[in-house]
Amino acid sequence: MSQILDYRNCPLAYKVRYVLKVEPPCPPSEAMKRGSRVHAAIANGSDLADPGEMAMFERARAFLKTAPPNGIFETSYEDTNNPGCRIGNLHGIPAVGIFDVHWIHPPLGVDWKTGRFKPRHTTQYEIQAYVLNELYHQTYGHRLDAMRFVFLQNGAIFDARCLSEPKSHEVVAAEIDAAIAGIAAGAFERRVRPLCPHCDWWPYCKSVVR
């Protein structure tokens, strides 16, 4: 799933990471480390030392108080038995997706976001929901009723529309097909954006031969 999202963000960065297999020149950013700490704390119920991170943890805990009991929580990406990990097939290619927490009955999935909701990223959330819904169906034999993205900076919640709206489902499926086709065709053009300097692969951007 992350490969499809990465390709949509920047085909050239996708090539550097997945085709050329270049390692990021810098260690994980503080934002990434913070996200890992918060996700781990939610999964295992531990407190956090940083007040800002603890506030995110409390928002997640408040959400879970309104959710069904006995959620299935992720552990870590490194855990080969991660109970949040779903493996299957997406539009003819192998796919892997990870729920931060999900339920079988009722069929519900949740993804924690340590930032704020940004409307311009809606398509990315919808693609993530679409992929997880497909993998969920392949695992359990039924589809999700809802996929919720909980934004821990302020507690905002976004419910993916592609699970319930046929038109949205069709649009997201087309976006995924376009990304898969672009990867297969070797279409790795650079996509210049304001956030380019913050990309892990920015130092290689001008030196990569396309």
| Residue 209 covered by a domain | no
Question: What CATH code is carried by the domain that includes residue 169?
Answer: 3.90.320.10
d(CA 42, CA 100): 9
Beta strand pairing call for 108-113 and 146-151: parallel
What pLDDT is recorded for position 63? 97
30 in any annotated domain: yes
* pLDDT tens, the chain, 210 aa long: 788 998 998 898 888 888 988 877 667 778 888 999 999 999 998 889 999 999 999 999 999 999 999 999 998 877 889 999 999 999 999 999 999 999 999 999 999 999 999 998 999 999 999 999 999 999 999 999 999 999 999 999 999 999 999 999 999 999 999 999 999 999 998 887 777 777 777 777 766 544
Domains in the chain, number: 1
Using CA atoms, how far residue 153 sits from 8, 52, 58, 185, in Å, is 25, 9, 11, 39
Q: How many CA atoms lie within 13 A of 166 on its CB side?
A: 0
In the DSSP assignment, the letter for residue 18 is I
**How many Cα atoms occupy the beta-carbon half-sphere of 180 within 13 Å?**
16
Query: What pLDDT shows up at residue 207?
Result: 60
Q: Is residue 153 part of a domain?
A: yes
Q: Which two tokens stand for residue 108?
A: 């519900």
Domain span including residue 82: 2-204
Per-residue model confidence (pLDDT) at position 119: 93
Q: Omega into 11 within 30° of 0, i.e. cis?
A: no
3-state helix, strand, coil in the chain (%, to 5): 45, 15, 40
Task: With respect to residue 156, please indicate whether it lies within any of the assigned structural domains.
Answer: yes
The runs of H, that is alpha helices, within the chain are: 2-9, 11-14, 30-44, 51-66, 122-140, 166-185
- Does residue 210 lie in a domain region? no
Is the distance from CB of 203 to CB of 25 less than 8 angstroms?
A: yes
